Amino acid sequence: MIKKEFLVTDFSGISRYLHKNSTSCTLYKYKDKNSYKYDFDEYTFVLEEYKTFNKLILISRDEVVLDEKILNLQEVSDDRRYSKEYIRLFGNPKDYEFDEKKVFQRCDEVGLSKLNLHFKMGMECSKVFRVILYRLNQLFLLEYAQYMKKKISYDELENRHKQLLEGVKLSKKVFYKNIIKKILEDLEDIYMLLNDQETFDRYVLNFQMFIHEKNFYNKKDVDEPIYFFEKKEELLGLL
């Protein structure tokens, strides 16, 4: 059995095309969608109409030569975010996609000012962790600079350090343990960060390389939604 799935932006256009070329059309109404089943001689198309997006499903026993009208659609057959389970839990993936680099830029712009980061449960663990760790590290480094100029107390810096430390430790299931271990070797001892310039510089360099390099992701969990992360409340509560 062959099954292929496509995103549909022009619902009326695809609907007219299928209706014109199919042998029959049947409408099935569900709580979260309308499904239009179009029968052809050797295969079937199902056009699913959700509230915020539409999906076309091809079901066939053998390979089908698709015409340009279908081939021009974006295929999402291997994207599990468009599976029934994920759609039921999180809705339209387009509603929770984001570019973490743009969030990094926003963090840099606001500095120590308040920044509300709104995470949705369908967002990838790796992206959420990268943003949270980036922000925690940024705040720590900015307050580190303030502490060295005697503008804030040691207790304030220590509290920020504890937040960052907890965030890095929580990330062991999302990133490769070896890189996290390397980061923690320099991060765990705040005394060394404050009193040994070589330790501080090495930590900063390793962290920057880690946060921007996607090769450090644990491939097994890289695409897991934050919804499935056991300690998500602890993680999201750090900011």
Q: Are residues 46 and 104 in the same domain?
A: no
What distance in Å separates the CA atoms of residue 194 and residue 188, rounded to the nearest whole number? Answer: 12
**Residue 62 has which token pair?**
């053998």
Burial (CB count within 10 angstroms: exposed 0-12, middle 13-18, buried 19+), residue 238: middle
Confidence at residue 216, expressed as pLDDT on a 0 to 100 scale: 57
Per-residue pLDDT of the chain in tens (239 residues, 90 and over written 9): 899 999 999 999 999 999 999 999 999 999 999 999 999 999 999 999 999 999 999 999 988 888 888 999 999 999 989 999 999 999 999 999 999 999 999 999 999 999 989 999 999 998 999 999 999 999 999 999 999 999 999 999 999 999 999 999 999 888 888 889 999 999 999 999 999 999 999 999 999 988 987 665 554 545 789 999 999 999 999 98
Domain span holding position 110: 100-236
Q: Are residues 82 and 188 in the same domain?
A: no
Q: Are residues 207 and 160 in the same domain?
A: yes
Answer with the one of 46, 67, 91 that is the final residue of a domain.
Answer: 91
Q: Are residues 194 and 86 in the same domain?
A: no
Type of residue found at 185: E
Confidence at residue 181, expressed as pLDDT on a 0 to 100 scale: 92
Q: Are residues 67 and 119 in the same domain?
A: no
**Residue 216 has which token pair?**
């450090």
Answer with the one of 91, 115, 134 that is the final residue of a domain.
Answer: 91
Answer with the one of 52, 70, 91 that is the final residue of a domain.
Answer: 91
Q: Are residues 155 and 69 in the same domain?
A: no
143, 152 Cβ separation under 8 angstroms: yes
pTM of this prediction?
Answer: 0.85
C-beta atoms surrounding 160 within 10 Å: 21
44, 62 Cβ separation under 8 angstroms: no
Q: Are residues 119 and 181 in the same domain?
A: yes
Q: Report the number of distinct structural domains present in the chain.
A: 2
Q: Are residues 8 and 108 in the same domain?
A: no
Q: Are residues 115 and 193 in the same domain?
A: yes
Q: Are residues 161 and 220 in the same domain?
A: yes
Q: Are residues 104 and 199 in the same domain?
A: yes
Q: Are residues 23 and 140 in the same domain?
A: no
What distance in Å separates the CA atoms of residue 183 and residue 193, rounded to the nearest whole number? Answer: 12
